[in-house]
Amino acid sequence: MKQFISDTYHYIMGIVMIFPIHYIRILFLRFLRMQIGKYTAICRGVDIRTPYRISIGSYTTINKHVVLDGRGGIVIGNCVDIAQDVNIWSLQHDYNSPVYATKGGKVVIEDYVWLASRVTVLPGVTIGRGAVVGACSVVTKDIPPMCIAVGNPAKVIGKREACLKYKLGQRGWFR
C-alpha cells in the first residue's frame, strides 16, 4: 500500500509540473507546504522531491528539467537563476557503507547565484551570495561568495563584480 501511495503521489506531481498554467503549479506546491517567495518562476517539467523541505526566495527562476531533491533540505535565496537541466541533490548513497546507506545534508544557495545549464550540486554544499557556477560543473564543496567556479569538481577561477541589483521573474499577475 505504501508503494501505491508513493507512486500515485509522484504521478500526480508529474502531471501538475507539466501543467501549462504557472499559477496552478505554484499553488499546488504551496499546498504541499513548499515555501515560495513572490515573483518566483518555476517552469514546466521541474522534478521536485519532498517539496515541504524546500524553500525558495523571491525573484528566483527555476528553469525546465531541473531536479530539486528536497529529502535532505534545500534553501534557495532571492534573485537566483537556475538554468535548465540542473540537478540539486541533498541526499545520496554512501559508497563506503556495507549496507548502501544514505547520507546527505542541506544544500544552501544564497542570493544572486547563477547556476548555468547542467550543473550538479551535491549534498551539504553552500554556494555563496553572487557566485556563478559554469555549465556542466559538479559542485562537491562550498563555493565562496562572488566567485566564478567551473569544472568537475568545480574550482574557483575568478571573481564577480560586487554590484548586483537585478531582479528575476518579475511577472506581476502571480505572487
Cell match 500515485: residue?
Answer: 8
- Residue of 10, 22, 65, 93 marked active site: 93
Please name which of 50, 15, 14, 22 lies closest in space to residue 35, comparing C-alpha atoms: 50
Q: Report the distance separating Cα 48 and Cα 83, nearest Å.
A: 15
Clarify whether 93 is annotated catalytic.
yes
Are the CB atoms for 62 and 42 separated by under 8 Å?
yes
Q: Report the distance separating Cα 88 and Cα 45, nearest Å.
A: 15
| Three cell numbers written together for 110 | 544564497
β-pairing, 61-62 with 74-76? unpaired
Q: At what angle do helices 22-31 and 2-17 cross, to 10 degrees?
A: 150
Active site residues: 93
